[in-house]
Amino acid sequence: MRHRPAVHLAVPVDDLAAARRFYGGVLGLAEGRSTDHWVDWDLDGHQLVTHLAGQPSVPAAYGTVEGTAVPVPHFGLLLPRARFHELAERLRAAGTPFDIEPYLRYAGERAEQWTMFLRDPAGNALEFKSFTDESAVFAR
């Protein structure tokens, strides 16, 4: 097995059962190790850990991107186009409310990308996006 760098991200949740329904059921992530206080999730090869923290999370601030207020902090994934739209439909089918509905940002520009923002049951903000040209992810 080839090693590839991966991210480890820990987020607070106030209800592990709700986290399991959302991350496992709605997002379809595979569950890894767990205890009574945390659950590991496979976020496309990255380790996401939901830690029982007792209080829902709230964004510390909002930033503005192309005239739209986005919650900060947030986390998420860069996805291939088809997978982005499949996830958007999966979220809609589950009745997941969006902070920012899926839309095409920077249309016609090199950084053109589909993006959407939503929250987990504890209020953690997530962004999923898909670049038209994946080589433009870090382009200046």
Tell me what pLDDT residue 60 has. Answer: 73
- Verify that 15 and 66 share a domain, yes or no: no
Quick one: pLDDT band at residue 110, thresholds 50, 70, 90? very high
- Verify that 82 and 19 share a domain, yes or no: no
Tell me what pLDDT residue 4 has. Answer: 72
- Verify that 17 and 72 share a domain, yes or no: no
| Residue 97 within a domain | yes
| Residue 1 within a domain | no
* HSE toward the beta carbon, residue 47, CA cutoff 13 A: 13
According to DSSP, the β-strands at 46-52 and 8-13 are parallel
Mean pLDDT for 109-113 is 94
- Verify that 42 and 100 share a domain, yes or no: no
| Residue 40 within a domain | yes
| Residue 2 within a domain | no
Containing domain of residue 39, as a range?
A: 8-52
- Verify that 83 and 48 share a domain, yes or no: no
- Verify that 65 and 132 share a domain, yes or no: yes
- Verify that 81 and 102 share a domain, yes or no: yes
Contact 130, 80 (CB under 8 A): yes
- What is the value of pTM for the model shown? 0.90
Which amino acid appears at position 79 of this protein?
L
- Verify that 44 and 68 share a domain, yes or no: no
- Verify that 74 and 16 share a domain, yes or no: no
Q: Which CATH number belongs to the domain containing residue 97 in this structure?
A: 3.10.180.10
Tell me how many domains the chain contains. 2
Quick one: pLDDT band at residue 95, thresholds 50, 70, 90? very high
* Mean pLDDT lowest among 25-34, 57-66, 76-85, 93-102: 57-66
Q: What is the pLDDT of residues 17-72, one digit of tens each?
A: 999 999 999 999 999 999 999 999 999 999 999 999 977 666 678 899 988 899 99
Helix (H, G, I), strand (E, B) or coil at 36: coil
Tell me what pLDDT residue 89 has. Answer: 98
